[in-house]
Amino acid sequence: MMTYITFSLLFFVIHFACYIIAGVIDLQLAKKMYSGKNRLYKSFFRDMDDQKESMRIAKLLIPSQFIRGIIMSMVLYPILPFLGDLSFGMQFVFMASLMFVYADFASAIPFSNTIEGIVYLKKEFVERKVFWTIQLEAIMYSIMFGLLSAWLLI
């Protein structure tokens, strides 16, 4: 039981660190998408320039990512013993691919960097520049997560 609890807590720490790092880096490239009067996601994202909204998001950031990280880790419980048998390289490939494919690119959520988004979103949300800017965050997150997971988690 402790193995699973430790796994989930460490999974959360790795997820949260990668989430913040990739998000901060990508936000520098995507600022016009998330903030300002003419931001791309104005119609459905909360206004980060509004102090009240920004405080609300800050208050929910860690708890929401904690729940997300714990739930994602629990899905791996059945295969946890097998992951330890893989080489560092295969652990990295598996974890990075899992996060990139299932959590982002092939997600059933239509967003600017997903297959569903390409199908369902209006053109301005999936133009090449928008797609690759958002995809960059997913790629950075997945690579960092894969490396840290292979090194520390499994």
Tens of pLDDT, residue by residue, the chain (154 residues): 889 999 999 999 999 999 999 999 988 888 788 888 888 888 888 888 888 988 998 899 999 999 999 999 999 999 999 998 999 999 999 999 999 999 899 999 999 999 999 999 999 999 999 999 999 999 999 999 999 999 998 7
Residues 142 and 104 sit within 8 Å (Cβ to Cβ): yes
**Residue 33: what pLDDT?**
84
Burial class from Cβ neighbours inside 10 Å (0-12, 13-18, 19+) for residue 43 reads: exposed
Q: Which two tokens stand for residue 7?
A: 């796994």
Give which of 134, 136, 96 is closest to 15, Cα–Cα: 96
Beta strands in the chain (DSSP E): none
**Residue 43: what pLDDT?**
83
Cα–Cα distance for residue pair 118/14, rounded to 1 Å: 29
Domain borders along the chain are 2-35+49-153
Residues in the chain: 154
Burial class from Cβ neighbours inside 10 Å (0-12, 13-18, 19+) for residue 141 reads: buried
**Residue 89: what pLDDT?**
96
Q: Which two tokens stand for residue 106?
A: 């092939």
Q: Which two tokens stand for residue 3?
A: 């193995």
